[in-house]
């Protein structure tokens, strides 16, 4: 199973950026930890970070037919981007949105995520551990999808 991990603007600055909010870990360190736990569960991760909305839309579109699920932190674009929301809806894949900080505890403009409407679920406020939680959630969703597909195949054969 393949999961695309898509990171939005300024997340390349983690470790240096507002440590009191986002903590000391760099994006590379977070990705390294994720790779470790994913490989134990037979999951392959493809990482992508961009500061540009259009590049994120392109990456989401490329997931169609090549990737099983998307783990995304759209960062500031969560609060503004109809284009990313549309792209997530267009590819019809399981999506988990992650935020390192608790967006509901912050400025009013961060308390609404437009992109969240295109996700299966949202994890917010658990620091970098939220990415691991997202992986666990997507693994569960993909396993459930696989079992229901297998059950349908057995049913179809029996009919």
Q: How far apart are CA 55 and CA 27, in angstroms?
A: 18
Total site size for ligand DQA, rule CB under 6 A: 10
104 catalytic? Reply is no
Report if residue 135 touches ligand DQA, rule: CB under 6 A.
Answer: no
Angle at 56 between CA 97 and CA 11, to 5 degrees: 65
Q: Which of 31, 77, 99, 132 is catalytic?
A: 99
Phi, psi dihedrals of residue 135, rounded to the nearest 5°: -65, -40
Of residues 56-115, those binding ligand DQA (CB under 6 A): 73, 75-76, 78, 99-101, 103, 110
> Residue by residue, what is the 3-state secondary structure of 58-102?
HHHHHCCCCCCEEEEECHHHHHCCHHHHHHHHHHCCCEEEEECCC
* Among positions 1, 2, 10, 133, the unique one binding ligand DQA when judged by CB under 6 A: 10
Active site residue 20: no
Q: Rule CB under 6 A: is residue 26 a binding residue for ligand DQA?
A: no
Closest CB to ligand DQA among residues 78, 85: 78
Under rule CB under 6 A, residue 49 binds ligand DQA: no
Quick check: helix, strand or coil at residue 4? strand
Terminal-to-terminal C-alpha distance of the chain: 30
Choose, from 22, 31, 77, 131, the residue flagged as catalytic: 22
The contact set with ligand DQA (CB under 6 A) reads 10, 73, 75-76, 78, 99-101, 103, 110
Q: Which residues are the active-site residues?
A: 22, 99
């Amino acid at each position: 199973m393949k999961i695309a991990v898509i990171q939005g603007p300024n997340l390349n600055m983690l470790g240096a950026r507002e440590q009191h909010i986002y903590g000391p870990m760099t994006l590379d360190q977070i990705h390294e930890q994720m790779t470790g736990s994913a490989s134990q569960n037979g999951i392959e991760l493809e990482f992508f970070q961009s500061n540009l909305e259009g590049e994120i839309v392109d990456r989401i579109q490329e997931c169609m037919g090549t990737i099983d699920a998307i783990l995304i932190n759209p960062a500031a674009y969560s609060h503004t981007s109809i284009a990313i929301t549309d792209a997530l809806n267009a590819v019809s894949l399981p999506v988990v949105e992650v935020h390192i900080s608790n967006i509901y505890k912050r400025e009013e403009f961060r308390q609404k995520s437009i992109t969240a409407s295109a996700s299966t679920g949202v994890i917010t406020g658990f620091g970098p551990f939220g990415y691991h939680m997202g992986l666990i959630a997507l693994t569960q969703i993909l396993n459930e999808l696989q079992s229901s597909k297998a059950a349908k195949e057995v049913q179809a054969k029996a009919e």
